[in-house]
Chains A and B, each alone.
Chain A
Amino acid sequence: MEHKKFDIEKLPKSNLFKVPEQYFEELPTKIQEQITTPSQSSIFFDYKMQWIGSLTAAAIIIFVGIWFYPNTNIQEVDLLADISSSEIIDYLDYEDISTYEIAYVIDVETLLSEGEPNNYIDLSEEQLSDEELESIYTEYDFSTDIL
């Protein structure tokens, strides 16, 4: 069976779509209301942008402050300056630090240069009599041949 040729150009161009009553009369008003009233989302967006702007300004101020006014390095000696000698001694006794550990961290040059002069026995300055010297040698069993 041969189908009749369908010619779309011969079809009446009717509009099967409908609109509600008064739709086109009311549409301009609906659009105008949206144009003239700022949306809730835009208000929220403006508030959010203000908040972000304030945070950014604060961050810049803090950054500039740190950049131009940096903190000085705190030396260990500064921290120890507030602690009394007796506290340090008590701490060393408590921690049972060995003499090796102490010697490891002590700068001998500093110790020698900063030590009290009276701590050193300058034998060259000592004026001992021959009898006193002989007494010492005998006590410590030093051979007089060394002398």
Chain B
Amino acid sequence: MLSHEDSKIYGYNLLIREYQERIYWHVRKMVIDHDDADDLVQDVFIKVWKNMSKFRSDSSLYTWIYRIATNECLNFLKKKRNKFFLPIQDIQGELEDKLECSPLIDGDDIQKRLQKELLKLPDKQRLVFNMKYFDEMKFSEISEITGTSVGALKASYHLAVKKIEESIKSD
């Protein structure tokens, strides 16, 4: 363990560089907007720094950081929904508008369509889909992060896939 304060900060700097992209994309796919993702990623790493003493080696460091990032995303989206009692549809609409209008989002129609379909899913189901489909994580890894059983995760993911495919096919 690093004892000197400067060495500690230097070491933490290396840790950030190691994990920042994976954590960023995980957050970005959930909140869509870059500025929101930027704020959340910084909050995640500050929280990790402050709570480093609480890290238990029963899980990997990356899993622990990923779990913090996941909770930050879910809390952010929950607060967004509860703010001024906006209905869920408005939040979905807001995120869809960002998919269409943001200069930091550039993809073909089918990719945008997929993202819009994902926004119709509950946050936790969307989260599981992203981790499995885009990040190609194993269900056992997702289970460790979310605290949900592998069976429930498999069911959630396959239901999400079916819902999306049905919706896109009908168009």
Where the two chains meet, the residues of A that have a C-beta atom closer than 8 Å to any C-beta of B are 3-8, 11, 13-20, 23-24, 27-28, 30-32, 34-36
What residue of chain A has the Cβ atom nearest to residue B21's Cβ? A24
Are B104 and A17 touching (Cβ within 8 A)? yes
What residue of chain A has the Cβ atom nearest to residue B114's Cβ? A11
Are A18 and B105 touching (Cβ within 8 A)? yes
Are B107 and A8 touching (Cβ within 8 A)? no
B41 at the interface (CB under 8 A from A): yes
20 contacts between A and B (CB under 8 A): A3-B169, A3-B171, A6-B168, A8-B133, A13-B133, A15-B25, A15-B107, A15-B134, A16-B108, A16-B111, A16-B112, A18-B105, A20-B104, A28-B13, A31-B16, A31-B45, A32-B13, A35-B9, A35-B12, A35-B49
Q: Which residues of B contact A16 (CB under 8 A)?
A: 105-108, 111-112, 115
We find that the number of chain B residues with CB closer than 8 angstroms to chain A is 39
B46 at the interface (CB under 8 A from A): yes
Q: A5-B169, A28-B16 are in contact. Are A34 and B42 (CB under 8 A)?
A: yes
| Interface core residue of A13, A15, A17, A19 (most chain B CB under 10 Å) | A17
Are A30 and B112 touching (Cβ within 8 A)? no
Q: Which residues of B contact A3 (CB under 8 A)?
A: 169-171
Q: Which residues of B contact A34 (CB under 8 A)?
A: 42, 46
Are A8 and B165 touching (Cβ within 8 A)? yes
A36 to B34, CA, bound (A): 25
A6 to B170, CA, bound (A): 9
